[in-house]
Amino acid sequence: MVDIQGLTKKYGSFTALDHLELTLNEGVVFGFVGANGAGKSTTFSILATLLSPTSGDAYINGKSVVREPKEVRKQIGYMPDFFGVYDQLKADEYLDFYGASYGLSAAERKVLIPQLLELVNLTHKRYEYVDLLSRGMKQRLCLARSLIHDPKVLILDEPASGLDPRARVEMRDILKHLKSMGKTILISSHILPELAEMCDEIGVIDNGKLIAHGNVATIQEQLQGDKRIIVKVMNEMEKARAFFEENPMISSIEAIPENNELAFNYRGTTQEQVNLLREALLSGIPIYSLTEEEKDLEDVFMAITKGADAE
Amino acid sequence: MMERFSNPVLSKELKLRFRAFKSFSGLMFYLAVLCIFVAGFLLIYTRFSGTAFFRPSDSFTMFVALSVIQMGLVMFITPGLTAGSISTEREKQTLNILLTTTQSSTQIIGGKLLSSVAFLILMLIAGLPLYSLVFLFGGVSPSQLITIFLFYLVTLIAIGSIGIMFSTITKKTIVSMIATYGAMIFLGGITAFFFFIGISMEQMAIHSATGLAQNATPFSPITYFCAGINPGALIITILYPEMASSLESAVGISMPIWIVYLIFYTLLTVFCLFVAIRKLRANMKTNR
């Protein structure tokens, strides 16, 4: 459904996007993660036909964003990170204007508008002026606007930014509903745990390069070699420390005697971890607990981008 | 059938314009200026007595003055209505969303221009009852009034196009306004200045040429062109046809200047709209 091929965008000597390659199937919810200025909005602007790439191309449902922008616009619903509204329009008029802008007939708009307002929980605000709506309501109205022509692909740039927790939850619920409708959704967010919960695939972009792509578990797998293990040992801390220090896959051992804990980085697979535990017990080390430190998406992001910087 | 020809931007702009208080206040200001002028003119000509005569020639003078004032107002108001049409969308962060719809750049620019022109036409029509006073006293033919209104129409479409062009190519509304008013000053003021300089130089050249002075025929295409693109010069030649003859003999070109005016402002309109349409999606290689 979305096929990005060697997408590059340069502003003078600055490279905002560097040969980005990405393929997304229909119905996938893709979370785009990256620091500010990493290239997320540039990618979305190109996909939304607002910006021409310096080289490369992107295809939405087989249509080129460079050569067939008008066809692409029929396929996408775009919600920018910052947007304004027309102050003097009411919510239904706002949707009506964009419906007409997408070439929908008055009869079609008349049927669609109440349905969309219901989808985003704004039926009660139908005849309110848009500028009187709260930030969260405006975000939801903008989302409804992006759906008015029933696009196959939704491009949502930071849809939850600036929202309070309640509005964020409401937005997330709507997105889940859209996912159930089979829409292909590209979403960027700084609220990484939210993406993890909602997205089928995650892409991490840093300095214009896609440095990781896959489902959340796959990306976490990339960090397996660096997982942090905490072992609790009854007495015999020194013996335990000496045993683990001999293992070449273990590094950065840290002892916390008051908690009977040894913490270390382990680079092995899950099976190797099982073997390590068995060997430790056979060596007479009284281990009564072995736990793996939980790494959420933020840790993954920090680790990956730190690695990219180091390169 | 009607929907095929409807322009969503035009409908939206008209809706927004007529909901805004500044539209009504602008219209009120415009009519107030005209009313004050007409009332003042009538009082002065009747010597504040209400019993003096008001001759058809006086009525014609009032028509001339009213037309010139209205032209000034059109030239003053049109940039204000059009020079922010695209840049305001950009500043309010609504332009990007508009550009991701399936509307073409031509539709968007066309809708913006037509909505401004429609409002200006409303202003002109709103001023018509004041013109009816002229007809009450006689001295002016309906054809003169129609010619004047056609002249307004050509002028306001051209100025509107200039405003929309600057609004598209500049990022800030204030810059666009300054540029558009600058263009107005050039078309209305600088060309008049060059016209008078040209005429003076032509006269000096004829008078200083000894012996041949009686037979010398002036020929000054640049001066003629300056007069041809100046709205003030055109309105005077429309109202006083004898001035057109004087101008033709002074510059040595017998073609009526309204032809130059029409060609120049039509080309200017086409050029400005072309640039605006091309530059609306400036970040895209294609303009579809």
Judge contact between A30 and A200, C-beta under 8 A.
yes
Decide if pLDDT at A311 tops 50: no
Q: Which residues contact A112 (CB under 8 A, 6 or more apart)?
A: A95, A99, A104, A148
Alpha-carbon span B193 to A171, nearest angstrom = 63
Judged by a CB distance cut-off of 8 A, whether residue A74 touches chain B is yes
- A289 is a domain residue: yes
pLDDT given for residue A101 in this prediction: 93
pLDDT given for residue A305 in this prediction: 64
- Domain extents in chain B: 13-280
Mean pLDDT for A146-151 is: 92
Judged by a CB distance cut-off of 8 A, whether residue A135 touches chain B is no
**Is B97's CB within 8 Å of A103's CB?**
no
The chain B residue lying nearest A107, using CA atoms, is B3
* Of residues B8, B15, B102, nearest to A73 (C-beta): B102
Q: What total number of domains does chain A contain?
A: 2
For residue B38, what pLDDT band results from cuts at 50, 70 and 90? confident
pLDDT given for residue B274 in this prediction: 95
Decide if pLDDT at B173 tops 90: yes
Whether A26 and A156 share a structural domain: yes
- A55 is a domain residue: yes
Whether A194 and A290 share a structural domain: no
B142 by Cβ neighbours in 10 Å (0-12 / 13-18 / 19+) ranks as: exposed
CA dihedral A164, A168, A171, A172 (to 10 degrees): 180
Using an 8 Å CB-CB cutoff, list chain B residues near A76: 100
**Is B3's CB within 8 Å of A48's CB?**
no
**In what order do the strands lie in the sheet containing A184-188?**
A76-79, A153-157, A184-188, A29-34, A201-206, A209-214
Residue type, A136: G
**Is A52's CB within 8 Å of B283's CB?**
yes
Last-in-domain residue among A196, A221, A246: A221
Alpha-carbon span A211 to A19, nearest angstrom = 11
The chain A residue lying nearest B287, using CA atoms, is A69
Instruction: Note which residues in 82-121 of chain A have CB less than 8 A from chain B.
Output: 82-86, 88-89, 93, 97-98, 100-103, 105-106
Whether A31 and A146 share a structural domain: yes
* Of residues B6, B97, B285, nearest to A66 (C-beta): B285
Decide if pLDDT at A115 tops 60: yes
**Is A89's CB within 8 Å of B101's CB?**
no
Decide if pLDDT at B224 tops 90: no
Residue type, B104: S
pLDDT given for residue B214 in this prediction: 54
Whether A50 and A144 share a structural domain: yes
Picking from A183, A184, A218, A190, the residue whose alpha carbon sits closest to that of residue A205 is: A190
Judged by a CB distance cut-off of 8 A, whether residue B6 touches chain A is yes
Judge contact between A44 and A212, C-beta under 8 A.
no
Select the residue from A11, A41, A97 to test the B interface by mutation, using most B Cβ atoms within 10 A.
A97
- A309 is a domain residue: no
How do strand A261-266 and strand A227-233 relate by DSSP bridges? antiparallel
* Of residues B3, B12, B94, nearest to A106 (C-beta): B3
Alpha-carbon span B45 to B65, nearest angstrom = 13
pLDDT digits (tens, 9 = 90+) for A129-142: 998 998 888 988 99
Mean pLDDT for B122-143 is: 81
Last-in-domain residue among A221, A253, A276: A221
Alpha-carbon span A268 to A277, nearest angstrom = 12
The chain A residue lying nearest B6, using CA atoms, is A100
Decide if pLDDT at B267 tops 90: yes
Q: What integer best gives the mean pLDDT of chain A?
A: 85
**Is A105's CB within 8 Å of B3's CB?**
yes
CA distance A50 to chain B (A): 6
The chain B residue lying nearest A103, using CA atoms, is B102
- A310 is a domain residue: no
Q: A181: domain CATH number?
A: 3.40.50.300
- A290 is a domain residue: yes
**Is A89's CB within 8 Å of B16's CB?**
yes
* Of residues B3, B97, B288, nearest to A69 (C-beta): B288
Whether A180 and A38 share a structural domain: yes
Mean pLDDT for B186-207 is: 85
The chain A residue lying nearest B104, using CA atoms, is A70
- A92 is a domain residue: no
Picking from B154, B152, B173, B174, the residue whose alpha carbon sits closest to that of residue B74 is: B152
Alpha-carbon span B73 to A127, nearest angstrom = 37
Judged by a CB distance cut-off of 8 A, whether residue A76 touches chain B is yes
Whether A278 and A147 share a structural domain: no
Residue type, A63: K
Judged by a CB distance cut-off of 8 A, whether residue B92 touches chain A is yes
Whether A200 and A275 share a structural domain: no
For residue B2, what pLDDT band results from cuts at 50, 70 and 90? low
- A304 is a domain residue: no
pLDDT given for residue A81 in this prediction: 84
Mean pLDDT for B271-275 is: 95
* Of residues B20, B102, B283, nearest to A101 (C-beta): B102
Judged by a CB distance cut-off of 8 A, whether residue B94 touches chain A is yes
pLDDT given for residue B94 in this prediction: 92
Alpha-carbon span B282 to B165, nearest angstrom = 13
Q: A277: domain CATH number?
A: 3.30.70.100
* Of residues A70, A83, A93, nearest to B97 (C-beta): A83
Instruction: Note which residues in 172-191 of chain A have CB less than 8 A from chain B.
Output: none
**Is A67's CB within 8 Å of B286's CB?**
yes
Picking from A123, A120, A141, the residue whose alpha carbon sits closest to that of residue A131 is: A141
Q: What integer best gives the mean pLDDT of chain B?
A: 85
- A117 is a domain residue: no
Using an 8 Å CB-CB cutoff, list chain A residues near B11: 97, 100
Using an 8 Å CB-CB cutoff, list chain A residues near B16: 86, 88-89
Q: Which residues contact B5 (CB under 8 A, 6 or more apart)?
A: none
How many CB atoms sit inside 10 A of residue A302's CB? 13
Q: Which residues contact A25 (CB under 8 A, 6 or more apart)?
A: A1, A184
Picking from A29, A30, A64, the residue whose alpha carbon sits closest to that of residue A46 is: A64
pLDDT given for residue A45 in this prediction: 92
How do strand A184-188 and strand A153-157 relate by DSSP bridges? parallel
**Is A78's CB within 8 Å of B20's CB?**
no
Whether A141 and A67 share a structural domain: yes
pLDDT digits (tens, 9 = 90+) for A36-87: 888 888 999 999 999 999 999 999 998 999 888 889 999 999 999 888 888 8
Decide if pLDDT at A299 tops 80: no
Whether A14 and A68 share a structural domain: yes
- The domain of A240 spans 224-294
Instruction: Note which residues in 193-222 of chain B have CB less than 8 A from chain A.
Output: none
Whether A241 and A158 share a structural domain: no
**In what order do the strands lie in the sheet containing A227-233?**
A250-256, A261-266, A227-233, A287-292
Angle at A146 between CA B280 and CA A197, to 5 degrees: 130
Judge contact between A167 and A76, C-beta under 8 A.
no
| Residue found under tokens 């969308």 | B89
3-state SS assignment for residue A78: strand
pLDDT given for residue A306 in this prediction: 59
pLDDT digits (tens, 9 = 90+) for B134-155: 777 777 788 888 888 899 999 9
Q: Where are the alpha helices (DSSP H) in chain A?
A: 40-47, 69-75, 91-101, 106-119, 135-147, 165-180, 192-198, 216-221, 237-245, 270-282, 297-310
Whether A285 and A177 share a structural domain: no
Whether A212 and A258 share a structural domain: no
pLDDT: is B210 or A43 the higher one?
A: A43
Last-in-domain residue among A173, A201, A221: A221
CA distance A48 to chain B (A): 6
